[in-house]
Amino acid sequence: MDRQKTIMIVDDTEINIDILVDALQEEYDLIVAINGVEAIEILQEEIPNLILLDIMMPEMNGYEVLNVLNKKLNLVNIPVILLSAITDSDSKTKGFALGAVDYITKPFEIVEVKARVRTQLRLEEARLVLENQKFVLEEMVKERTKLLERTNSAAIYCLAALSETRDTDTGEHIKRTQKYIRELALELQNTDKYKEILTKEYIDLLYKSAPLHDIGKVGVKDSILLKPGKLTKEEFEEMKNHTIYGEQSLMVGITELGEDSFLTLAKEIALTHHEKWDGTGYPKGLCKEEIPISGRLMALSDVYDALISKRVYKEAFTHDEAKKIILGGRETHFDPDIVDAFIRREDTFIQIMEEFKDNSK
């Protein structure tokens, strides 16, 4: 096993080199450098498994060589055993502080040198095995995390699609509103007011949660949900309850996964995305910043998409027509900051609208 290992000997004394070469050449491949400068030059081309390094050398001493090794990523992990006639503890401490793994005092015993070399090579081999295992485990964790995320996303889409099958909306509505809400959040993230609220982590959760905004529609009667004409006052009151149904159904999941799960944000969106800035929305009549930012973001995303989409009771509006209605709802229906963000991201909204058109269009 050890025969394939390469050891570099760095010493300016010929007799020391001869002794070490004679002792180690049968077990290891050897590289010899007669000073620190030459050693650094050789290390640019060939990297040994271990270095036996003299401290007291002209031009560049052993400590200086260690300093160079510490600055180069491809050399920093090479185990170095210092060789020196200096026996004071300060010299040893300095060597260990610079990364040396062992210290052999001259004149040395060959048996001791061989034993320490063998020990350090085996320790280095064990370190590499552990490092490889760590890498493999990290990659496995990454893959499992990706799989879990894909599974979660698929489950979310399945739940969201369940509500969409009972409505006149389409699966593309889910994708569009999900992308709209992210664009609005990213735009507001650039402002002082929202940069600490709309963190990357929050926006990721917002994106993941958004498809469940209308999950409560599964609790609404088909006669109301699928009615092609205008709803009566009583029917509209029942339709409003889809926000409550959404909150209640998502609470079941939160009970299992905990309040820190993404379902908490999904519940917040489901409950509040029909609230209005002026307090005339439902189900609680919240106004202005009483409405969570998630609900305010979804409010505009959902209304915009409803406007540009064809429904059994209406034709699709153009972007410009929808934009006019959104602007008309600034400070009444919608948070003015979010309307302004919508205008700044207008071109992106159009791109999303075009890319994820309903098949019926």
Number of helices and strands (H, E) in the chain? 15, 5
* Average pLDDT of the residues in 103-124: 90
Q: Is residue 154 part of a domain?
A: no
Q: Is residue 9 part of a domain?
A: yes
Instruction: Specify whether 125 is located in the same domain as 259.
Output: no
What does the angle CA 158 – CA 356 – CA 179 come to, to the nearest 5 degrees?
Answer: 70
pLDDT at 294: 97
- pLDDT tens string 47-70: 999 999 999 998 899 999 999 999
**pTM summary value:** 0.59
pLDDT at 252: 80
Q: In angstroms, rounded to a whole number, what is the distance separating the alpha carbons of residues 221 and 199?
A: 38
Q: In angstroms, rounded to a whole number, what is the distance separating the alpha carbons of residues 29 and 46?
A: 12
Domain harbouring 35, CATH code: 3.40.50.2300
Instruction: Specify whether 171 is located in the same domain as 274.
Output: yes
pLDDT at 352: 96
Q: In angstroms, rounded to a whole number, what is the distance separating the alpha carbons of residues 163 and 166?
A: 6
pLDDT at 228: 79
What confidence tier does 318 reach under pLDDT thresholds 50, 70, 90? very high
pLDDT at 152: 59
What confidence tier does 204 reach under pLDDT thresholds 50, 70, 90? very high
At 208, list the tokens: 């993941």
pLDDT at 147: 59
Contact 211, 178 (CB under 8 A): yes
Phi, psi for 169 (deg, rounded to 5): -70, 170
Q: Is residue 144 part of a domain?
A: no
Domain boundary among 117, 136, 155: 136
- Report which of 189, 161, 188, 187 is spatially closest to residue 174, judged by C-alpha positions: 161
Instruction: Specify whether 79 is located in the same domain as 228.
Output: no
What confidence tier does 84 reach under pLDDT thresholds 50, 70, 90? confident
Instruction: Specify whether 180 is located in the same domain as 109.
Output: no
Instruction: Specify whether 281 is located in the same domain as 202.
Output: yes
Cβ neighbours of residue 62 closer than 8 Å, sequence gap 6 or more: 10, 36, 53, 54, 55, 56, 82, 84, 95
Cβ neighbours of residue 29 closer than 8 Å, sequence gap 6 or more: 3, 4, 5, 6, 7
Beta bridge partners of 208: none
- CA 269 to each of CA 131, 262, 264: distance values in angstroms, whole numbers, following the listed order: 44, 11, 9
Instruction: Specify whether 94 is located in the same domain as 172.
Output: no
Chain-centre distance for alpha carbon 213: 25
Contact 285, 279 (CB under 8 A): yes
Answer yes or no: is pLDDT of 117 > 80.
Answer: yes
Contact 277, 287 (CB under 8 A): yes
pLDDT at 193: 95
Instruction: Specify whether 239 is located in the same domain as 111.
Output: no
Q: What is the average pLDDT value for the chain, to the nearest integer?
A: 87
Q: Is residue 224 part of a domain?
A: yes
pLDDT at 237: 93
Instruction: Specify whether 214 is located in the same domain as 317.
Output: yes
Listed in order, strand segments (DSSP E) in 155-210 are none
* Average pLDDT of the residues in 179-188: 97
pLDDT at 1: 43
* Average pLDDT of the residues in 351-360: 83
pLDDT at 224: 86
Q: In angstroms, rounded to a whole number, what is the distance separating the alpha carbons of residues 224 and 235?
A: 6
- CA 260 to each of CA 28, 208, 338: distance values in angstroms, whole numbers, following the listed order: 57, 14, 26
pLDDT at 234: 93
- pLDDT tens string 332-350: 999 999 999 999 999 999 9
What amino acid occupies position 150?
A: R
Domain harbouring 222, CATH code: 1.10.3210.10
> Range with the lowest mean pLDDT among 113-117, 177-181, 335-339?
113-117
Instruction: Specify whether 9 is located in the same domain as 125.
Output: yes
- pLDDT tens string 265-274: 999 999 999 9
What confidence tier does 166 reach under pLDDT thresholds 50, 70, 90? low
Answer yes or no: is pLDDT of 160 > 70.
Answer: no
* Average pLDDT of the residues in 134-158: 66
Characterize 118-142 residue by residue with b for buried, 16 or more Cβ atoms within 10 angstroms of its Cβ, and e for exposed: eebbeebeeeeeeeeeeeeeeeeee
Chain-centre distance for alpha carbon 159: 25
Q: In angstroms, rounded to a whole number, what is the distance separating the alpha carbons of residues 251 and 266?
A: 10
Instruction: Specify whether 44 is located in the same domain as 175.
Output: no
Q: Is residue 282 part of a domain?
A: yes
What confidence tier does 148 reach under pLDDT thresholds 50, 70, 90? low
- pLDDT tens string 212-263: 898 888 888 888 887 878 889 999 999 999 999 989 988 887 777 677 667 8
Answer yes or no: is pLDDT of 308 > 60.
Answer: yes
The count of domains in the chain is 2
Instruction: Specify whether 302 is located in the same domain as 178.
Output: yes
Q: Is residue 141 part of a domain?
A: no
Domain boundary among 88, 115, 136: 136
Q: Is the peptide bond before 107 cis (omega within 30 degrees of 0)?
A: yes
- State which residues form the domain around 6: 2-136
Domain boundary among 136, 155, 177: 136
For 190, the 3-state DSSP assignment is: coil
Answer yes or no: is pLDDT of 145 > 70.
Answer: no
At 273, list the tokens: 């995305």
Using only C-alpha atoms, the chain has a radius of gyration, in whole angstroms, of 35
Answer yes or no: is pLDDT of 280 > 90.
Answer: yes
Instruction: Specify whether 132 is located in the same domain as 173.
Output: no
Helix segments in 277-328, DSSP class H: 293-308, 319-328
Could you tell me what percent of the chain has a pLDDT over 70?
Answer: 89
pLDDT at 283: 97
Q: Is residue 106 part of a domain?
A: yes
Q: Is residue 101 part of a domain?
A: yes
